[in-house]
A = this chain, B = another copy of it.
Amino acid sequence: MNYPSRLIEDAVGEISRLPGIGKKTALRLALHLLKRDEQQTTSLADAIVNMRTKTTYCVKCHNIADDQLCNVCSNRNRDHSIICVVVDTRDVLAIEATSQYRGLYHVLGGIISPLEGIGPSDLNIESLLDRTMQREGEDQVQEVILALSPTMEGDTTAFYLQKKLKTIGVRVSTIARGVPIGGDLEYADEITLGRSIVSRVAYD
């Protein structure tokens, strides 16, 4: 496209490097900023630079934190004997939003994906094993829950972690896969429905 100004072209180029944003959307956003107060643009720029340069990660669970420990790890009211393993911060937010989990987290920072060249050593797996192996004190880990997406990569990562964790002798579980609540049986795909029959739950 033949942009009317080099400044616009630069801005569109930078904005469209964001995932899911093409040149057209980037141009729309750039023109939107041009129409608004200069202050909106500067506060947007400040916010992202501040976030990028000042954000720290929890030394324990690798979640994003304002301090050395994140809100969850530093909260003594939570159950420190359970660790839920997730891929990134978004998963932590999603699980926190359910209010059904009172334990701690461990953020892997990615998923094993041979296609993208991501192996176990690129993820925060070593520190997970270290945390799990600490067998003294009241923070002894009793259970590790794997909350990974039911994809090829997710299953590979889960399999790898499960094997490693089993040798430590901790209980390992995975979140339940099955028919979503509110979902119609006839619209569930075969694999999900099949899995929900195999992993059926007995009434107490």
Interface residues of A (CB under 8 A from B): 1-8, 10-11, 13-15, 17-21, 25, 27-34, 38, 40-55, 63-66, 70-71, 88-90, 92-93, 96-97
Known: A40-B17, A93-B27. A34 touches B5 (CB 8 A): no
Main secondary structure on A side of the interface with B: helix
Can you offer 20 A-B residue contacts whose CB atoms are under 8 A? A4-B66, A5-B55, A5-B66, A8-B51, A8-B89, A14-B43, A15-B48, A27-B90, A28-B90, A31-B89, A33-B51, A34-B52, A34-B55, A38-B53, A41-B48, A41-B49, A41-B51, A44-B45, A45-B45, A45-B49
Q: Copy number in this complex? A: 2
Known: A2-B97, A45-B46. 16 other contacts (CB 8 A): A2-B96, A3-B93, A4-B63, A4-B66, A5-B55, A5-B65, A7-B55, A8-B51, A8-B64, A8-B89, A11-B47, A15-B44, A15-B47, A27-B93, A31-B89, A45-B45
